[in-house]
Amino acid sequence: MTAPRLDGLDIPPGPGFVATVAATTGIHRAEGYDLAQLLITHPGPRRPNETAETVADGMRRLATALHLGPGDQEPPLIGGQIMIRRGFAALDYGHDQYVMTIPTPAQDWLALLSVGALCRVCLVIAPLALAADQAETDAHLRESLARGLVMWGTTFARRRF
């Protein structure tokens, strides 16, 4: 039996926090292969009693629950954490009762995962505004990576929901 961590990072965040997380899908197209991607961010404090510190703590707990590794190292294989059914997708983040829905995944992303392709999950701890455009998102991702605030891993879709 593993002893619980005293920092609380081993406890997945609850559904209330996960509902405030933003997720977006994409595909990295390279010569010879396509890699599905899932970017997970948080817009920052928006709920009562939420602070920048509690948001960062929730994102770290989410990264720990998913077994993500530091963004400046080779991404670990975290197992089949994505579930796809009838055009809907969800991410099993380690909670014993809840999963994180992935809002409106692109059809080509779903098709890629449905045939067994890998998916790179990238979680950014530092808040990112929901209205950020592609250039702002890219800059935020680079800055967060330089500050050690990016966690990632490689997953795939489970065969059964």
Tens of pLDDT, residue by residue over 99-142, are 999 988 989 999 999 999 999 999 999 999 889 999 999 999 99
How crowded is residue 92: how many other Cβ atoms within 10 Å of its Cβ? 19
pLDDT digits (tens, 9 = 90+) for 68-101: 999 999 999 999 999 998 889 999 999 999 999 9
Question: pTM of the predicted model, to two decimals?
Answer: 0.89
Pick the residue with more confidence: 75 or 50?
75
User: What gap in Å lies between CA 67 and CA 114, rounded to an integer?
Assistant: 23
List the structure tokens of 4.
């619980």
Residue 3: per-residue pLDDT = 41
Largest CA distance in the chain: 48
User: Bridge-partner residues for 35, per DSSP?
Assistant: 28
What's the Cα-to-Cα distance from 5 to each of 45, 54, 61, 64, 83, rounded to whole Å? 25, 18, 11, 11, 28
More confident residue, 152 or 50: 152
Amino acid at 138: D
Alpha carbon separation from 50 to 9, 46, 147 (Å, rounded): 17, 7, 23
- CA 80 from chain center: how many Å? 13
